[in-house]
Structure 1
Amino acid sequence: MPSRTMIEAIRSAMDVSMERDERVVVFGEDVGFFGGVFRCTEGLQKKYGASRCFDTPISETGIVGAAVGMAAYGLRPIAEIQFADYMYPAYDQIVSEAARLRFRSANDFTASMVVRMPCGGGIFGAQTHSQSPEALFTHVAGLKTVIPSNPHDAKGLLIAAIEDEDPVIFLEPKRLYNGPFDGHYDRPVVPWSKHPLSDVPDEHYTVPIGKAVVRREGSAVTVLAYGTMVHVAEAAAQDTGIDAEIIDLRTLVPLDIDTIVQSVEKTGRCVVIHEATRTSGFGAELAAQVQERCFYHLEKPVLRVTGWDTPYPHIHEWDYFPGPKRVGEALVEATAKD
């Protein structure tokens, strides 16, 4: 079984899907001849031709609008938004068209489409290349939102998203693109070579959308994380020696609330982590869900460790991220005896 980076795993998912189903098409800015700014689509145009992997004008509204039309026609488009920060012009198409098509047509049409977006910081991309806008999608009925934390899941989840009958927002943490890391990030993001890559099968497989996984079993506190923050949570647990149970959500909507409740009822404590800004972030939804379902099992309030409530701070990028130190402090606070 070959070891792959997340970029290679995502490319493999599209390759496998395009080979199996001629309805699958890939398009976006620079994804064809150039292979994408992060090379996720490299080689696909050469293999499948310019009618199935092609470049578009610099128009996010046009990219997503075309994807909605293609999906209604019966194709299975994979639209790439070059950076998640660029999706705002297309937000109306995502919300008003893709998310609502099945409902407004009384199930006559569906939007079986995927919108791929690199998200998060770590490349010194400043305010317009580093945002984590997942909460903007989780609030929209009709959308599914997926954020993988490793190459194996990235391939399986992307194939599942391509085969899903409804629109899926597929967010790809840029800090994980070129290989896993142990959460103790320093400047720069690389090198990754000292960390093993994930084993990713060549063949077709899926990881179910809507199913979380326990990455680290523990009994002292439940940690809810996704994407890059899963690795940061693991580093914090290792640094502090706290017996934390770390849940990788993988899918934000639909949310695997059963796995979360089972863990919190066991530990009686919960810490939520995400890179996005704190106010109205997805962590607030997680905290509310835990409080509603696990109130009588909680020994302490649910804690959140997040980005700052500021525009993305380029100079202070590495302080903005929740790191092992800040997460570790939350773990200590959550498990402290009164």
Structure 2
Amino acid sequence: MDEGVKRATMADVAEAASVSKALVSLVYRQPEKVSPERRARVHAAAERLGFRPNWVASSLSAYRGSFVGILVSNLHNPLFATIVDTVRTELDAVGRYGLMSSAVIQDRDGTYRTDRRIVQAFEDLNASALLVVGVTPDLADLQRLRPGIPIVVAAASIEELPRAVSVRSDSEIGMRAVVDHLVSLGHQRIVHLGGQGGPASRRRAEAYARAMAEHGLADHVHVEPAEFDEASGRAAAERVLSARPGSTALVCVNDLVALGAMGEAAERGLRVPEDVAITGYDNTFLAGIAAVGLTSVDTEAQEIGRVAASWLASDEALPAPGTEVLIPPRLVVRRSTAG
């Protein structure tokens, strides 16, 4: 902008739109409280004048901030990207927006921890609410946030964060569908790769064990420790295929672990699914790639995102703390099990 040209102010926009300055402020701070017609009039006037609100200043000066802080536990997981994209689209439709950052940082020794600086930054910037996507290593940092900041968790449990609300896939239904499918194909020696990385992983491992028991296969239950990444999946598959050569199916805690298992199987010259069937969980875009063809549980990530966004868009829509909404998943069968 030319330094000699006066920058448009909120008062200028109010005059151009024939509304009050307070209403212009409300459009940018709490747009859901302004009618669509008046929001459109204010935005049109702002566009004509080249007005751009200072969101940092307005957030800091407001009792409640104008943006939603979005903390993503793992930037490498496509499931989380789908949820975030859906949330941002839904928020944008009602005039809200989100500011995103990774919630987790890797130390030089390879361990992960919650990035407390980012959590603190969102609090200092006066975020109107916080969306946490996935599992963070230390929920105590979130528990310490001031009580006035609502916390919504997507695709993860809140058993260690009772002040939050959560929307996630129903692991019981998802894992039962996987085991039912594999048993219908004649598999009995079915191993689960997972169980590490937080409550969601433990829950899926427990659901797998229950589903196996329902089919009379309790003696074949085995959970090989794995977290949520490809390297962990490959290492877990290597251990299983070496120590338990009779295993005919690997049920993985997510798609990334399944990709690691498929890589290990290929390295050993094993055919998928003829020699070993492999399933994932989350049905990310990776599972649907023709060269991959991974049978996976679709967690309905977009629906998870829409539910989370509906809570974040309005104070009135937020459920009571501790509420968990479970979205029923569905199994998508591809050639990693069906041949």
TM-score normalised by length of structure 2? 0.32
Structure richer in helix, relative to its length? 2
Bigger radius of gyration: 2
Q: Using structure 1 for the length normalisation, give the TM-score.
A: 0.32
